[in-house]
Amino acid sequence: MGLFTGKKGLVFGIANDHSIAWSITQNLQAEGADMAFTHLPDKDPERPRMERRLRKLVDDFDRFIMPCDVTNEQDLDAVFARAKEEFGQIDFVLHSIAYAPMEDLKGPVHAVSRDGFKLSMEISCYSLISLAHRAREIMAPGGNILSLTYLGGEKVIPGYNIMGVCKAALESTVEYLASELGPESFRVNALSAGPLKTLSSSAVGEFDQMVKLYSAFSPMRRNVTHDEVGKTGMWLMSDHASGVSGETLHVDCGYHIMGAPPHDAHLED
Residues 6+ apart with CB under 8 A from 5: 31, 32
Task: Give the structural domain span for 247.
Answer: 8-199+224-253
SS3 170: helix
CATH of the domain at 234: 3.40.50.720
Spatial separation of the C-alpha atoms in residues 264 and 241, rounded to whole Å: 35
The answer as to whether 190 is a domain residue is: yes
Tell me the pLDDT tens digit for each residue of 56-68: 999 999 899 999 9
The answer as to whether 244 is a domain residue is: yes
Q: What is the pLDDT of residue 205?
A: 54
Tell me the pLDDT tens digit for each residue of 90-148: 999 999 999 999 999 999 999 999 999 999 999 999 999 999 999 999 999 999 999 99
Q: Work out the pLDDT band at 21, boundaries 50, 70, 90.
A: very high
The answer as to whether 134 is a domain residue is: yes
Active site residue 255: no
Residues 263, 264, 268: CA angle, nearest 5 degrees = 130
> Using an 8 Å Cβ cutoff, are 9 and 28 in contact?
yes
- Which one is predicted more confidently, 210 or 182? 182
The answer as to whether 86 is a domain residue is: yes
Q: Which of 160, 176, 214, 255 is catalytic?
A: 160
Q: What is the pLDDT of residue 44?
A: 76
The answer as to whether 172 is a domain residue is: yes
Is the confidence at residue 18, as pLDDT, over 60?
yes
Q: What is the pLDDT of residue 91?
A: 98
The answer as to whether 106 is a domain residue is: yes
Q: Work out the pLDDT band at 213, boundaries 50, 70, 90.
A: confident
Q: How many domains does the chain have?
A: 1
The answer as to whether 262 is a domain residue is: no
Letter string b/e over residues 103-117, b meaning 16 or more CB atoms within 10 A of that residue's CB: ebbeeeeeebeeebb
SS3 249: strand
The answer as to whether 211 is a domain residue is: no
Alpha helices (runs of H) in 9-113, residue ranges in sequence order: 20-30, 49-58, 73-87, 102-106
E runs forming strands in the chain: 8-12, 34-39, 62-67, 90-95, 139-149, 187-193, 248-251
Active site residue 150: yes
Spatial separation of the C-alpha atoms in residues 96 and 252, rounded to whole Å: 18
Once rounded to an integer, what is the mean pLDDT over residues 61-76? 96
Q: Which of 99, 150, 214, 255 is catalytic?
A: 150
